[in-house]
Amino acid sequence: MIFPAGQPVTTESKSGRSVLIVDDEPALRAVAARVLELAGLTVTTAANGFEALEQIERDGPPELVLTDLRMPRMGGIELKIMLNARWPNVGVLFMSGYSAEYLRLDGTIEECDLLLQKPYTAKTLLEHVRTVLALTPPGGQSAVQ
């Protein structure tokens, strides 16, 4: 993750919005969590899709899941499918080191999927997360029975 010189991340008041970061790289999870926490978001983390689903079952769904596309056990695509089936109002933002064009051409993601390109800056992370949260109703997650 790259942080541009001269562009500090400022601490904002708590927004009440919640994000679950799912990435198999502990350092990336920690840095992204810190950036989002400093921006006033409530953040939890998971190392893979299975861990994320267990956490959501236990604690309830977040408003946004920020997930790496390729992880051991369960990647981002499988996680999105499971989330959409049970919690259709949860926003999903993918992260990947591969370009969006490549991932769309090989069929990994669809045209409507949002992607945060790795490596990213704190500013870009916040912009992408805020964009998806703007499309996600606050507290609007309801479990499908």
Give the per-residue pLDDT at 99: 86
Tell me the pLDDT tens digit for each residue of 100-143. 888 888 778 887 788 999 999 999 999 999 999 998 877 644 33
Partnered with residue 92 across adjacent β-strands are: 65
Torsion of CA 115, 108, 51, 59, to 10 degrees: 50
Residue 8 pLDDT grade (very low, low, confident, very high; cuts 50, 70, 90): very low
Amino acid at position 94, single letter: F
Domain boundaries, the chain: 18-135
**Residue that wins the pLDDT comparison between 3 and 51:** 51
Give the per-residue pLDDT at 124: 96
Q: Cβ distance 23 to 29 under 8 Å?
A: yes
CA-based max dimension of the chain? 49
**CB crowding 121-130: b at 16 or more within 10 Å, else e:** ebeebbebbe
Give the per-residue pLDDT at 14: 58
**Residue that wins the pLDDT comparison between 2 and 25:** 25
pLDDT score of 59 more than 90: yes
Answer CATH for 18-135 from 3.20.20.70, 3.40.50.2300, 3.60.20.10, 3.40.190.10: 3.40.50.2300
Percent of all residues in the chain with a pLDDT value above 90, rounded to a whole number: 68
E strand or H helix that includes residue 80: helix 76-86
